[in-house]
Amino acid sequence: MSGPRPVSLGLFRTMGTVLRSPVPPAFRSALAVGWLVLLLFLVQVFTGILLSLYYQPSPATVAESVQFIMRDVDWGWLVRGLHHWAAHALILLLVGRLTYLMLRGRYHGGAATSWYLIILLLWLMVISTYSGELLAWDNEAYWRAVGVLDKIEVLPGIGHGLATILRGGEDVSATTLGRTYTAHSLFVPWLIWLLLVLNIWFLFRRIQARKGVAA
């Protein structure tokens, strides 16, 4: 007895079906933005992997490792720059897409799912970019980490527990840097990837449904 079809298999089959046939004009801009977001995210992943080969998430060595990347690694400055600017380009692209959808009133009905997924994507990209800036762990980054964790601390109910988990204790320390690096390089990227897959899935299903109606 065969089990339910895996979501990933269904996604690739849906993508293949859509890509083999013309895309309705109403969906072309959304599909173009979706592919551009995916491309920028893959640039982030690839450059992040390259940076992780040299970055050392320890307060004693982090500054030296960043300087080594910028000064001694071939094209290290370019890889770090691409990683930085791809993140900001993603945020601008998502903000622009949300603004367009809001102005056109496409945040309800069949497009509501994509609207909320893009909002979640934007929040995750802001978190990813902010945590990436903290990884420099210089004096400014340290006090920024202290400030944001103090704000989390005062959230009702979950604030203290969440701040303690993020800090790795009661004070900002080397453990905080390690957890920030883990969140930035593993946890948040997987969440972003999941939301990207879901967004593409729902978009392609809407394209298929529109073609079915037109037929």
Residue 111 has pLDDT above 80, yes or no: no
Hey, how many other C-beta atoms are within 10 angstroms of the C-beta on 187? 15
E strand or H helix at 38: helix 25-52
Cα–Cα distance for residue pair 176/167, rounded to 1 Å: 5
Q: Left (φ > 0), alpha (ψ -120 to 50) or beta: where does 168 sit?
A: left
CATH number of 26-135+188-210: 1.20.810.10
If one compares 115 and 3, the residue with the highest pLDDT of the two is 115
The percentage of the chain sitting over the pLDDT mark of 70, rounded to a whole number, equals: 85
pLDDT of residue 88: 95
Task: Decide: pTM greater than 0.75.
Answer: yes
Which of these ranges, 23-27, 48-52, 87-91, has the smallest mean pLDDT? 23-27
**If DSSP codes are grouped into helix, strand and coil, which group holds residue 29?**
helix
Cα torsion 115, 42, 17, 14 to 10°: value is -60
Render pLDDT for 156-201 as a digit per residue (tens, 0 to 9): 888 889 999 999 988 899 999 999 999 999 999 999 999 988 888 8
Cα–Cα distance for residue pair 89/105, rounded to 1 Å: 24
If one compares 81 and 110, the residue with the highest pLDDT of the two is 81
Mean per-residue pLDDT for 93-113?
A: 83
What is the rounded average pLDDT for all residues in the chain?
A: 86
